[in-house]
Chains A and B, each alone.
Chain A
Amino acid sequence: MNMQRLMKSRELLLALALVLLVGGIAVRFPAFASPSSLGNVFNDTSILIILALGQMVVIITKCIDLSVASNLALTGMIVAIINASAPGIPVAFLIVIAISAGALMGAINGFFVWKLEIPPIVVTLGTLTIFRGIVFLLTDGAWINAHEMSASFKALPRADFVGLPVLSWIAIAIIGVMAVLMTRTAFGRATYAVGGNPHASVYTGINVGFTRFAAFIISGSLAGLCGYLWVARYAVAYVDIAGGFELDVVAACVIGGISIAGGIGSVAGAVMGALFLGVIKNALPVINISPFWQLAISGAAIIIAVALNARAERTKGRVILKKAEVV
């Protein structure tokens, strides 16, 4: 089968699974499938979607960024501290600070991967701990609570704009930007080439290390943005926010058909992978199933997704072995 069609069918499959999941829940709880409820699920999943999109770019280049949740916690704490001590500073400026701080952390990851050629899983496992350690150093473990934050700081993500919260609109805007970036720019194309065949990319004049560096900066910037969004939305900042969330992000990517081996994946896949987890997380409490099942179902979804993707790869192999030249 043609790769483009394969990708589409893989995404079609995922969309189908998503519809079936929502449909199945709606059979018992019709209210779950109402537009406002689905809107809530989307809004709830927005941060996961944004982080998954950043992670997607990194994974496509054959790397991984485990530090995103710690990056989020640290940038969230930084903007929360600034807001608490100087409430006059406009929120727009804080968002710029959050994105910049996140980008800087991404650049640190990318630098180690690019210039020192340390395996990304090692680098980001290290920074995962370091970034969260810095949150503790900044605060000595103290919380910053809702009453210490300015009203405008907390209001932005929840503010309604044409029927949807701003948080949802930000996710939608980022989905659009990332879709264009990945399919319509030389950088996007380079990420696929670097992940799909690093050696060939070198001969094609692509700077493999720099492409990965840039991917980490994108992932870091989006994590930084999410740092503000998370702290503002939940109106609290402390050391452990989003603890372990990096695993949800990677899971969303894997369920979304992004190959851990690099070179394969799409924006639509990452978004649907995140939504799949989002639906499970939001629906199970509604239908009164224990959170244990939530973990089990997410885990099963990951394994099924990987198995399906592996099967697709195998079919491709068989065509070559038969020397069946497709004409």
Chain B
Amino acid sequence: MLDHKGTVPVNVQDTNASPGATPILELSGISKRFPGVLALDDVGLKLYPGSVTALVGENGAGKSTIVKILTGIYQPDGGTIRIDGSAKRFATPHTATLSGVTAIHQETVLFDELSIAENIFLGHAPRNRLGLIDWSAMHTRAADMLANVGADVDPTAKLRDLGIANKHLVAVARALSVEARIVIMDEPTAALSHKEINELYALIESLRQTGKAILFISHKFDEIFKIADRFAVFRDGREIADGLIDDITPDDLVQMMVGRSVDQIFPARQHHQGTEVLRVAGYCHPTEFQDIGFSLHEGEILGFYGLVGSGRSEFMQALFGITKPSKGAVRIDGQIAVVRSPAEAINRGIVYVPEDRGKQGAVIGLPIFQNISLPSLSKTSRAGFIRLAEEFALARDYTARLDLRAASLDQDVGELSGGNQQKVVIAKWLATRPRVIILDEPTKGIDIGSKAAVHEFMAELASQGLAVIMVSSEIPEILGLSDRVIVMREGLMVEQFERDELTPEKLVRAAADIGEAA
């Protein structure tokens, strides 16, 4: 069925009447609002028995929100969930499980220190007459389950000793043990090797044979076209299209994913490229990335696009001295620079605003002014002693520039909203007077108003001659702000685009490894 809200370019047929199909699970009119953002806007989704439905969409499309609603982690603000035609409410993850919904996540949520059998039967272990766990029954049944999913492992072994692929199999065995009928797989292949992926495909095939409805979330087009029967596309929290995979081509899917109404306005920028600040050549890491090389100029915003796990952040961490590269050279202002620690990077004028604000950004518990001065204490100290007046002056200066809203500068950072915390983190870095600023997912998880402010600010930084590296998974942001874009995939630089040759399609193709449009 076509959704009236999207423009679907091709001949997607009405597939509602596909043979023998009444959906096991049917979502309709589901909405979910978070403060400042409508994550899901009146979406529907149908899952059919013995069928794999691929859920496709860019980051922020609402895929993970729908998974969380299906597994009882979030409650929808509106809409209905029907299983076999009767309305259900998943108040807790447990009720979702009882209704036959189970999810296998990217990082398996299992227990490393327990045995495989215990993992499979946790919460519903077979009991003997005394009400104690019947270990021999548990081990026999676990062995059966594992044989069913084709996992050649000992049920008494600890989960810790398994590889990721086998852990997935255990998760599937667990799903089977609770008699799940609806299996959600959230990017299950993201961390698997080739062989393991093929094993997973075989497993999905056998689940399909036994009549399970499978929701398969993936960014990888090759696997979507290989294993899915149906597709559903989400974009910006809306349902764009759904139908049979056989009716569409990868090009159609790309179109549906990215074709968006431009509702975000980006600051107009003139690209004055100044002198070269940073040149990276042949940067390698034994396991994370290989042969990264580029140059960066004053006044430039260089976008780094790629899927999660493509090695963008890992490269940035090496550039910033947190991890060690195995090979390669960095030149700052033409001089070879060896950066062995973050402190050295900061001294050389490179700063890194990391992705996870909570974990890696602000120090909750310290007041705003102390957060801002933290990397600049040598500037606000005399003879080793901090001068409070200078520290406050520094903080006041940079918070004013960023229009930070706070009661006072000695307020705890933890009391600020996400957007304002982000401003504190950025102010902290600007106060070090950097030459190169690396912003990793600068607007992830903040509301639209704060996003616009951050974008404007990035444009202003560049216009002041700072060289900006922006790591982002959001296509509009990459398109709207970058002068140049480097696309990474599986630890390699796969494409480089100038601003005027950028299109969303090219980005998605390069990141997901799809050939040129036919």
Q: CB < 8 Å: which of A185, A200, A201, A205 contacts B345? A: A205
A14 to chain B, nearest CB (A): 19
- By the criterion CB–CB under 8 Å, are A199 and B359 in contact? yes
- By the criterion CB–CB under 8 Å, are A316 and B416 in contact? no
Tell whether B148 is near chain A: CB-to-CB under 8 Å: no
Could you mark each residue 354-394 of chain B with 1 if its beta carbon is under 8 Å from any beta carbon of chain A, else 0?
10100111111111001001110110010011100000000
Hey, which chain A residues are within 8 Å of B363, CB to CB?
A: 192-193, 196-197, 200-201, 204, 263
Tell whether A288 is near chain B: CB-to-CB under 8 Å: no
- By the criterion CB–CB under 8 Å, are B354 and A203 in contact? yes
Hey, which chain A residues are within 8 Å of B381, CB to CB?
A: 185-186
Tell whether B35 is near chain A: CB-to-CB under 8 Å: yes
- By the criterion CB–CB under 8 Å, are B405 and A320 in contact? no
Hey, which chain B residues are within 8 Å of A204, CB to CB?
A: 342, 346, 363, 374-375, 428
Given contacts A184-B385, A189-B386, A326-B416, contact A3 B367 (CB under 8 A): yes
Hey, which chain A residues are within 8 Å of B378, CB to CB?
A: 186
Hey, which chain A residues are within 8 Å of B410, CB to CB?
A: 2-4
- By the criterion CB–CB under 8 Å, are A200 and B367 in contact? no
A76, B60: Cα distance in complex, Å: 63
Q: CB < 8 Å: which of A2, A197, A199, A203 contacts B412? A: A2
- By the criterion CB–CB under 8 Å, are A323 and B377 in contact? no
Query: Chain A: interface secondary structure?
Result: helix
Hey, which chain A residues are within 8 Å of B405, CB to CB?
A: 325, 327
A263 to chain B, nearest CB (A): 4
Interface positions, chain A 246-271, Cβ under 8 Å from B, are 263-264
A3, B370: Cα distance in complex, Å: 12
- By the criterion CB–CB under 8 Å, are B412 and A316 in contact? yes
- By the criterion CB–CB under 8 Å, are B385 and A325 in contact? no
- By the criterion CB–CB under 8 Å, are A326 and B386 in contact? no
Given contacts A263-B365, A319-B415, contact A205 B359 (CB under 8 A): no
Tell whether A202 is near chain B: CB-to-CB under 8 Å: yes
Task: Name the residue on B nearest A317 (C-beta).
Answer: B414
Q: CB < 8 Å: which of B322, B386, B414 contacts A184? A: B386
- By the criterion CB–CB under 8 Å, are B411 and A2 in contact? yes
- By the criterion CB–CB under 8 Å, are B386 and A186 in contact? yes
Could you mark each residue 396-423 of chain B with 1 if its beta carbon is under 8 Å from any beta carbon of chain A, else 0?
0000000001111011101111001000
- By the criterion CB–CB under 8 Å, are B374 and A207 in contact? no
B420 to chain A, nearest CB (A): 7
Hey, which chain B residues are within 8 Å of A202, CB to CB?
A: 322, 342, 360
Task: Name the residue on A nearest B342 (C-beta).
Answer: A205
A326, B360: Cα distance in complex, Å: 23
- By the criterion CB–CB under 8 Å, are A326 and B407 in contact? yes
- By the criterion CB–CB under 8 Å, are A186 and B377 in contact? yes
Q: CB < 8 Å: which of B35, B366, B373 contacts A196? A: B366
- By the criterion CB–CB under 8 Å, are A3 and B375 in contact? no
Hey, which chain A residues are within 8 Å of B415, CB to CB?
A: 2-3, 316, 319-320, 326
A189, B367: Cα distance in complex, Å: 11
Q: CB < 8 Å: which of A2, A200, A323 contacts B417? A: A323
A6, B420: Cα distance in complex, Å: 21
Beyond A189-B370, A325-B417, 15 additional pairs, beta carbon < 8 A:
A3-B365, A3-B366, A3-B412, A6-B412, A180-B385, A184-B385, A185-B385, A186-B377, A186-B386, A192-B366, A196-B364, A200-B359, A200-B363, A263-B364, A325-B416
- 6 tightest CB-CB pairs across the interface, nearest first? A3-B412, A205-B343, A196-B365, A186-B377, A197-B363, A196-B363
Using a CB–CB distance below 8 Å, which chain B residues touch chain A?
A: 35, 320, 322, 341-343, 345-346, 352, 354, 356, 359-367, 370, 373-375, 377-378, 381, 384-386, 405-408, 410-412, 414-417, 420, 428
- Sample of 10 A–B contacts (CB below 8 Å): A185-B381, A189-B370, A192-B366, A197-B364, A199-B356, A199-B359, A199-B360, A204-B375, A264-B365, A326-B416
